[in-house]
Amino acid sequence: MLNVDHLGKTYGEGSDAVEAIGDLEFEVRENEFVCIVGPSGCGKTTLLKCMSGLLAPSRGEVRLHDQRIDGPPERMALVFQEYGRSLYPWMSVRQNVAFPLRRKRLGKDEASNLVEQAVESVDLTGFLDRYPWELSGGMQQRVAIARALAYQPEILLMDEPFASVDAQTRADLEDLILEVRRQYGVTVVFVTHDIDESVYLGDRIVVLTPAPTTVQETLDVDLPAARDQLETKELPEFARLRAHVYRSIKRKQPAAEPEHAAA
């Protein structure tokens, strides 16, 4: 569904050139939850910006349904890490979630149904007429997720969305995103630097190398589909995967034999 094809990105020119992404190649399949994990400063955000059409790649391309992405596609939504700067502070929760729907020219009822449904799925129904700055950080990120869901994307990109909330809120948000993903049947690409999070959430994990970034390895997460913060994390397979990803990130050289080649 989404193909990253020999993607490369270099910032600057000549002697000042910084190669952020070397050569990336992987695929995201329909209905998959793919976690992209890598060491800090490995160009994860650059990758996501190229995937969302916000940034033009220097080499290669990203394709959605075999169509080259050269601007933000209509069927894609993006959730940023900085929820506080991604929500419109002069709009209420309802207005924030409804705003991207304006271009879709839906009927009034249809639009407000989508909005209310999305807000309900993130448990914020009682806060529809509040402003983002009246809410806690975790709640603000839920508003941003509701906004993405109401937009009805086929594919949802998330850029370290839970990196700036506290641990408890983070666990709640992780379960929430698994739940709404099931409910909305949306494909998710989730960028994180947290290894536990990537194993807990993902169907598949793409491990990146430090910049200039390439794919270190891709591995399938063989855990039961229904995840639970306690039970899943106690499974031996969870511990094994976690350790594997950890070693994979620590290793500087690309893996000689990836366990599971990218399909």
Partner 1 sequence: MTTRRQRLLAAGLEVTVPVLLLVIWGLYSSSGSENSYYFPPLTDILSTFADTWLFERVGSDMVPSLVRMGLGFGIAVVVAISAGLLLGLSAQARRAAAPIVEFLRAIPPPALLPFAILVIGVGNSMKVFIIAFVCIWPILLNTIDGVTGVDPTLRETTRVYGVTPRDRLWRVMLPAASPQIFAGMRTSLSLALILMVISEMVASTNGIGYFVLQSQRTFAIPEMWSGILLLGILGYTLNGVFVLIERRVLRWHRGARASALG
Q: Which residues bind partner 1 (CB under 8 A)?
A: 49, 52, 54, 72, 74, 76-78, 80, 82, 84-86, 88-90, 99-100, 102-103, 131-134, 147, 151
Q: How many residues does the chain have?
A: 263
Give the bridge partners for 21, in sequence order. 9, 213
Closer CB to partner 1, 86 or 192, in the complex: 86
Question: Taking a C-beta distance cutoff of 8 angstroms, is the pair 41, 211 a contact?
Answer: yes
Structure token pair of residue 183:
């409910």
Closer CB to partner 1, 103 or 108, in the complex: 103
**What minimum distance in Å lies between the beta carbon of 214 and partner 1?**
25
- The CA-based angle 241-246-250, given to 5 degrees, is 150
Closer CB to partner 1, 8 or 153, in the complex: 153
Helices (H), 87-166: 93-98, 108-121, 137-150
**What minimum distance in Å lies between the beta carbon of 38 and partner 1?**
21
The tokens 């979630």 sit on which residue? 97
Compute CA 251 distance to the chain's CA centroid, rounded to the nearest angstrom: 24
The tokens 């020219």 sit on which residue? 105
**What minimum distance in Å lies between the beta carbon of 188 and partner 1?**
15
Compute CA 105 distance to the chain's CA centroid, rounded to the nearest angstrom: 27
Report CA torsion sign: 177, 181, 184, 190: positive
DSSP state of 208: E
Give the bridge partners for 155, in sequence order. 76, 187
**What minimum distance in Å lies between the beta carbon of 222 and partner 1?**
33
The crossing angle, in degrees rounded to 10, of helices 137-150 and 108-121 is: 140
Closer CB to partner 1, 60 or 100, in the complex: 100
Question: Taking a C-beta distance cutoff of 8 angstroms, is the pair 196, 242 a contact?
Answer: yes
**What minimum distance in Å lies between the beta carbon of 202 and partner 1?**
22
Closer CB to partner 1, 75 or 260, in the complex: 75
Closer CB to partner 1, 156 or 206, in the complex: 156
Instruction: Output the furthest CA–CA distance in the chain (Å, rounded).
Output: 56
Closer CB to partner 1, 68 or 240, in the complex: 68
**What minimum distance in Å lies between the beta carbon of 80 and partner 1?**
6
**What minimum distance in Å lies between the beta carbon of 144 and partner 1?**
9
Structure token pair of residue 23:
């050569």
